[in-house]
Structure 1
């Protein structure tokens, strides 16, 4: 499962403060069972736009992580500032280096 959470951090706000809070959020999420990897990114073309992208073993692992105490303290306040848009996606195709493509069927009922 892929979670893409986008943020707009207006000019005049401290991007450094946002980055520090994002680092704490990623660390809290990374400590949870089922977490695979995560990244913090900032747009080259518009530095007000940031994203946190995480990958999880399953939607259940992600949902359980959101109930974790450290996540509630360190990640939830930051995630509440995200843009109001869909953020959780099922992975339907994956290409490895070299071009090997793996296609999956949807788990949605």
Structure 2
């Protein structure tokens, strides 16, 4: 499962935001089910940032969000994300894609 969080941050706040995003990423990376992640800044629009993480499955990501350290060090930064869907399933050749349905946080 891939999670893509995009952020619009004024250039003057970029250095502070970068440190906040690194702290958020580090908190997420400590959680079970985390596989990898990357922080990036758009090359054409330096106000646009991204945190992309990969997880074993959606449940691992959702459980990570409820962990105390993540609530303390990541959620305040993640709340600044652009309001758009952020969770994606991997669609490699031959994989079965999920059907559209409501999912619980369990």
Q: Same fold (TM over 0.5)?
A: yes
Give the root-mean-square deviation of aligned CA atoms. Answer: 1.0
- 1:15 maps to 14
SS of the counterpart of 1:63? Answer: helix
In structure 2, the gaps of 5 or more residues are: 102-106
Deviation sequence 1:78-100 (CA, Å, 0-9, x none): 0100000000001111xxxxxxx
Q: Which runs of 4+ in 1 moved over 2 A?
A: none
Question: Looking at CA atoms only, which structure, 1 or 2, has the larger radius of gyration?
Answer: 1
Residue by residue over 1:36-64, the C-alpha shift from the partner in whole angstroms, topping out at 9 and shown as x without a partner, is: 00100000001000000000000000000
- Higher relative strand content: 1
Unaligned runs of 5+ in 1: 94-101
- TM norm structure 2: 0.90
* Length, aligned pairs only: 100
Offset, 1:107: 2.8
